[in-house]
Structure 1
Amino acid sequence: YDTVDLAEGRFTVAVGDVVGHGLEAATVMGMLRSALSAASRAVAGPAGALEVLGMYARSVDGALAATAVSVLVDTRSHLLVYSSAGHPPPVLLHADGTCELLDQATDPPLGARPEHVPRPQAGMPYHPGDTLVLYTDGLIERRDEDIDTGLDRLTTALGDLVGREPDQLADALLARLGVASGARDDIALVIVRV
């Protein structure tokens, strides 16, 4: 996960996941995180940054099939601009408890295509006080269960927990989803009040 502060009231938030566990996987993720941070500063928009990251991933052993999602938060226009490379969709939790999935700009994981193809990008307006939730698949996926069931469980829990501060929301969400003591897969959870 990473955040990058950009000029003029804008910043990016990103979360990614690599295949595997341990030191090798952590090393690969560190390399991808640094590359995405640099790309987010150098090119326009999350899709462009993920395109650069995908090209870089082809040269890093263990980086193929890694997933990532990047969201640009523009605090002036109250707009979220996002792109996903095979990653579960972020959730925008509104102050009234309703949730929207940022799922309109999804593409295959990093390095999955042998040729360069531009990645999709989409935008979604937000209201000040909404909450942006990014996470890795370990938060929602369960063995022998459809991913939509996990997404429904996540959005229902978020709606029930609306109004909490981000740190309290994170703790309560992990407990509600039954992973406060850990899970089979690694979990990264980033919660931002926008």
Structure 2
Amino acid sequence: MNERPRFWLTVLGAHTHLHATACSACPHHVFGCCSHPPPYDWADVARVLSLGGRAHLEGALARGELTLTRGGLRFATPKRRGPRGKRVQGCVFLGETGCTLDPREKPAVCNYYVCETALGGPPERNPHGDRPFFAYAVVRELWTRWTHEVSRVVDEAYRDTCPAFDEALVTLLVETYERLEREAGLEGARPEPLPGPTVR
């Protein structure tokens, strides 16, 4: 008898991470979520920077793993050998056993979205009921509001141009993100910072 998928939460405000056992052995692999990874919206970039992830982002940009756009950063999606030898497109950070990024380096949606298969099916047939879906909805609602606000601030500062990934942009993003954390009373809900200098 197959073990039911299990899920658990690391609850840290906007850094909340919804885990599911099925994700580590995703039957879809490169055909699943990672075939079309989400962008790093400006709010995602700000969250990673606030945790000391500037070196990670700058390194990925230099290596071509990320590209700069007007709306944030985008993952490269090179082709690689998938199941049965077929060449398929997928996120540059997808390894043989899943994502190679630390949760602190990922776009928020990669942390809080888990598909129905991983969660044991839709709510009406799920052994866990609607609990995992409720957790997803709560974090998504918070993050959607923050994404709109950080994007508004960047658009206002740079108008219709694509900003350079420089000190001015980094400072603007971190200051805006930390303001949102303070306003929501979530400044204490943070994981340990990433190795390296944290932007202040």
TM range (shorter): under 0.3
Higher helix share: 2
User: What TM-score, normalized to structure 1?
Assistant: 0.27
User: What TM-score, normalized to structure 2?
Assistant: 0.26
Q: Which has the larger radius of gyration?
A: 2
Higher strand share: 1
